[in-house]
Amino acid sequence: MALLRKSVLKILSAVNYYYRTVSVFHHPGKKVFREPEMIIFPESEQIFLEQCAASFNHEPDYSRGMWQKEISITTLKNATLLGNSGALVLHERVVVESVLDQRRLSLSSAWRMPAFMLKKRKNGLYAAIFHFPWAETSNYHWFFDCLPRLYVLGKTVKEPLTFIANANMPQFQYDTLNFVLKKFPHIDVAYIRKNEKWECENFLMPSFVANNVSGYLPKDISSFLRNKILKGYRIEPKNPTRKIYISRSRATKRRIKNEKELLLVLEKFGFEVVYPELLSYREQVQLFNESRVIAGPHGAGFTNTFFAQNATVLELHPATAVKPHYFLLSKGLDFNYHYLIGSEADEKLDFGIPVAAFERKLQELV
């Protein structure tokens, strides 16, 4: 029976189909560099976070506080990195912490999705931070799930290390990765393709820093990353005076149904309407760095608030999907965060915003 089971596992692993998981939370090779810390929110912020939690059946619920994760690195022997997901496999089991948590694992291409992949053996010391499918092209997941883990590696590992990156990363990820790596000359880069899996003799797995649906980062980490990226793009800080509205009218979902009415109000208050997807990434970073008020519907465009100097944020939410990502990003940066909740979302997550309430909110902010 044991022999049959072993044979089945070998066949399944040959096509990268895994149905078992393993946690390395208590692994003897784990070193904790920073203990977890509870972040407590004042009552006014708890009200907003309660609305967020209720939108998603209280998974997660940060209204009574949020645990900032421990920061750790776990040394694993003969771990296999899957190029199609960034997940690690140890003894034919997927390491849950390598894709953040069980929920993300269940949605990941590392889990029960057969794929023929070329296996390569790698001797030496390796590490990786990429995270599919969420961070493959996403700026949000790149800056909050991935790059903070590189900071952890660079600050704690002093011996020569080969860092494994996605061979097909978009240009903004390639650029910002190299801006950060300039600080760590002992780290070399090797590129893995989606149809490859690398069995690494020694693998360092840095913990995720940010929580699920949260852009909150500890200040030393956010300051380090912001400074490296602003310097890399050669952004000269100016007095932030711009007021911008991030439009999603060119997107396929999460649009404002009555945006034309809102634009008339925005014009009255001197706002620029911006479409980040039409700008180079450097132009996006510069735009947000020069902005003192940032408004718009919830979406990935708010990620660039990370590069603002000291902004006031106004985020618009549908009543049925209030999300805490950018409130928590603003909280970590000590930015003023405001929100307005509109109608229920339709099947495309489009929703309306009451014009009078929107105008009152802008009056309050500017």
Give the model confidence (pLDDT) of 235-273 as tens digits.
998 999 999 999 999 999 999 999 999 999 999 999 999
Which residue ranges make up each domain of the chain?
A: 2-35+70-213, 242-365
CB 272 within 8 A of CB 244: yes
Judged against a pLDDT cut of 80, whether residue 12 lies above it is answered with no
- Predicted local distance difference test score (pLDDT) of residue 59: 84
pLDDT in tens, 272-315: 999 999 999 999 999 999 999 999 999 999 999 999 999 999 99
End-to-end alpha carbon distance in the chain: 72
Judged against a pLDDT cut of 80, whether residue 7 lies above it is answered with no
Q: How many CA atoms lie within 13 A of 337 on its CB side?
A: 22
CATH number for the segment(s) 242-365: 3.40.50
What number is the average pLDDT over the span 191-203?
97
pLDDT in tens, 148-180: 999 999 999 999 999 999 999 999 999 999 999
Task: Tell me the whole-structure pTM to 2 decimals.
Answer: 0.94
Instruction: Show the tokens assigned to 128.
Output: 């990786």
Residue 362 CB partners (closer than 8 Å, separation 6+): 265, 266, 269, 295, 314
